[in-house]
Structure formats: structure tokens, C-alpha cells
Amino acid sequence: MAQIIRSGAFLQQCWSVHPLCVTVKRMTDENGLILSCSSCKSIHHLATTTVVSKGPSAQRTAEVDILRDEPPGTEFLKACVATHPASLSLREMDVFLDLVRLRCADCRRLYDLSVATFETRQK
């Protein structure tokens, strides 16, 4: 049975050593995010609590009412993962605050994820 490591430090180390090898694979039904590393053969499971989506700066407005009408960030992220997962990339992470930031090259959206638990498994 594969060892399960419950720490964000392993994802952070994996991403810092080979950032281009860490890719988004899919989202689970429980709003979890699955990342895979082709270099170290690790699968990273992130159980998210909140997902905040930010559109491109050209589309942002100061109108608070427009922002209220936007769907939740989770819906945007699910759509990105379903239609063009190869365009999503890990941009930033903070294991002390349990935060992960993704960027979609196609939509040009940023996703800030609050992570409840990190799990890393070796293939």
C-alpha cells in the first residue's frame, strides 16, 4: 500500500523542484483537487474549503453589485478543470496559511484555494 503523507510541505517541495511537471488532473465530488507530478510520480490531493475566483484585470470593475452576481469560484474552477485542465498551473502556495493559487491560461482567471488538508501519495 502506498504511503500517505499529510503535509503541504511535500507538494511545496515537489513544485519548487520541478514546477512544470505539476499538473491539475481533476476535481472530486467533495471539491477536492487532484494534482499530479510526472517527475516524482506523486499524486497530491487537496481538500479545499473555499475557492475564490478572480477574472482578468481588464474585466474587473469597482461595482460590488456585479461581483455579487458571479457564480462561486468553485463553479469556475470546475469548468476550467473539465474543459482545459492542461491550461491550469500552480502559481503560488503558502503551507503556513494553507493557501494555493492556480492560474488558467485560457480563461486568464486566478483561483485562490483555502486548503483544509494536503495528502501526497507515491504512484
pLDDT band at 71 (very low <50, low <70, confident <90, very high): low
pTM: 0.84
At which residue does the C-alpha cell 507538494 appear?
11
pLDDT tens across 4-36, in order? 899 999 999 999 999 999 999 999 988 899 999
Instruction: Give mean pLDDT, residues 75-88.
Output: 93
Where are the chain's structural domains? 4-122
| Residues pairing with 104 in the sheet | 88
For residue 98, give the nearest of 46, 61, 26, 39 by alpha carbon. Answer: 46
Contact 51, 111 (CB under 8 A): yes
| Burial (Cβ within 10 Å: 0-12, 13-18, ≥19) of residue 11 | buried
